[in-house]
Amino acid sequence: MTIQTETLLPDATGIVRAADLLREGALVSFPTETVYGLGADARNGEAVARVYEAKGRPSFNPLIVHVARVSQAQDFVLWSDTAQALADAFWPGPLTMVLPLATNHGLSSLVTAGLDSVALRVPADPTAQALLQAFGGPIAAPSANPSGRISPTTAQHVISGLSGRISAVVDGGACAVGMESTIIGLTEGPTLFRAGGLAHEAIEQILGRTLASSADSDAITAPGQMTSHYAPAATVRLNALEAQPGELMLGFGDVNGALNLSPTGDLVEAAANLFDHLHQLDARALPIAVAPIPMQGLGRAINDRLARAAAPR
Ligand code: TXA
Ligand code: MG
């Protein structure tokens, strides 16, 4: 489906329009000081599903959630003294922190790809700040490039990659930093997940210790290669047309089950429901049989995720 992509100015009118579009569940690209993000309401599963669709991502990698200020970030996670020290030193700025999810966080499970942690960032760019304040809620945003292409640092880069696939881009000029944020994991000891626009030495100075680096940081940035991806404890059988005795069925379209990813066969709805439904079935501790999902549009990413869930471990 091709839509008309609006180019908005970063003035009051443009920001109000961009915030309204986000509230409707539409996709809006906006500048941060690192790179342009492809934004969606982080609480709206179908809006988040459309982010993967627009980028043509072959798998569900967790996304960064952007908020206007530190107090808002604290609503979603278990905050810590370390997080506070890093926030005091580097927010707003090109730092992303991965923290344990709080209960009742309200974020779409597609944002976190079903993990029990979330990546948070308070950007400094004035256009990003204006949009986050006008919207008032959390914005999930990966870099605004088609999957496999380089990250955009101008509105023109966004247009050339995603025109016709997103509702709007707010043109706030060129990004000041021009490379992605540095990602620090704080769910265990402070760990460098991705080198980026903030030098890790500056972080180590605040922490008073050396950062561990993730065993293979490339594995984290490569879509879908994260070893920490959520996988159900139960065994998973794919392309099933009905449950065998003792199995729980995860349906799609006409193939019904204990839960159905989308009774109407809508892949956006199915993507939005995927991790919630897997978690719910997994909680019942029975083997899971999954209906066939067509290999088109978001079906590719859904099947990728299901194949990982079904892989022997
Ligand atoms: O500068 C940036 O960080 C830009 C701007 C738009 O904010 N965003 C960005 O997003 O680069 P993206 O989706 O291209 O990269 C997000 C990275 C991915 O490598 C993902 O694996 C990691 O963040 N990530 C997100 N949530 C995570 C989590 N819970 N645990 C570990 N890694 C996570
Ligand atoms: Mg990217």
Q: 244 and 211, same structural domain?
A: no
Q: 296 and 264, same structural domain?
A: yes
Q: Is pLDDT of 222 > 60?
A: no
Q: 247 and 207, same structural domain?
A: no
**Ligand 1 atom closest to Cα of residue 221:** 19
Q: Is pLDDT of 226 > 50?
A: no
Q: 245 and 194, same structural domain?
A: no
Q: Is pLDDT of 255 > 80?
A: yes
231 band by pLDDT with thresholds 50, 70 and 90:
confident
Q: What is the pLDDT of residues 170-213, one digit of tens each?
A: 999 999 999 999 999 999 999 999 999 999 999 999 999 999 98
**What domain range includes position 109?**
6-216
Torsion angle (degrees, nearest 10) of CA 69, 70, 71, 72: 60
Number of independent structural domains in the chain: 2
| Pocket probe mutation, ligand 1, options 180, 218, 225, max atoms within 8 Å of Cβ | 180
Mean pLDDT of 255-282: 95
Give the model's pLDDT for residue 215: 57
Give the model's pLDDT for residue 194: 93
Percent of the chain with pLDDT over 90: 85
Q: 256 and 206, same structural domain?
A: no
Is 222 among the domain residues? no
Say which ligand is closest to the CA of 184: 1
State which of 184, 216, 248 marks the end of a domain: 216
Is 260 among the domain residues? yes
Amino acid in position 222: A
Is 223 among the domain residues? no
Q: 21 and 159, same structural domain?
A: yes
Q: 171 and 274, same structural domain?
A: no
Q: Is pLDDT of 217 > 60?
A: no
| Ligand 2 centroid to residue 31 C-alpha, Å | 14
Torsion angle (degrees, nearest 10) of CA 288, 293, 295, 301: -60
Q: 248 and 117, same structural domain?
A: no
For the entire predicted model, the pTM comes to 0.91
Q: 29 and 162, same structural domain?
A: yes
- Write the CB contacts of 150 (distance below 8 Å, at least 6 apart in sequence): none
| Ligand 2 centroid to residue 135 C-alpha, Å | 23
Q: 12 and 150, same structural domain?
A: yes
Give the model's pLDDT for residue 233: 84
Which is more confident, 308 or 117? Answer: 117
Pairing relationship of beta strands 182-185 and 191-194 according to DSSP bridges: antiparallel
Find the residues whose C-beta lies inside 6 A of ligand 1: 32, 34-35, 37, 61-64, 96, 98, 112, 115, 117-119, 121, 141-143, 180-181, 183, 193-194, 220-221, 226
As a whole number of angstroms, the distance between CA 197 and CA 188 comes to: 22
Q: Is pLDDT of 113 > 60?
A: yes
Is 227 among the domain residues? no
Give the model's pLDDT for residue 7: 98
Long-range contacts of 53-57 (CB under 8 A, 24+ apart): 53/165, 53/267, 53/268, 53/271, 53/297, 53/298, 54/27, 54/162, 54/165, 54/166, 55/142, 55/145, 55/146, 55/147, 55/162, 56/146, 56/147, 57/142, 57/147, 57/223, 57/301
Q: 245 and 151, same structural domain?
A: no
* Average pLDDT along the chain: 93
Is 80 among the domain residues? yes
State which of 182, 216, 250 marks the end of a domain: 216
Q: Is pLDDT of 220 > 60?
A: no
Q: In what order do the strands lie in the sheet with 191-194?
A: 6-8, 168-170, 28-31, 36-41, 139-140, 64-66, 117-121, 95-100, 182-185, 191-194, 212-213
As a whole number of angstroms, the distance between CA 62 and CA 56 comes to: 15
CATH number at residue 97: 3.90.870.10
As a whole number of angstroms, the distance between CA 254 and CA 241 comes to: 10
Q: 283 and 176, same structural domain?
A: no
| Pocket probe mutation, ligand 1, options 147, 158, 183, 217, max atoms within 8 Å of Cβ | 183
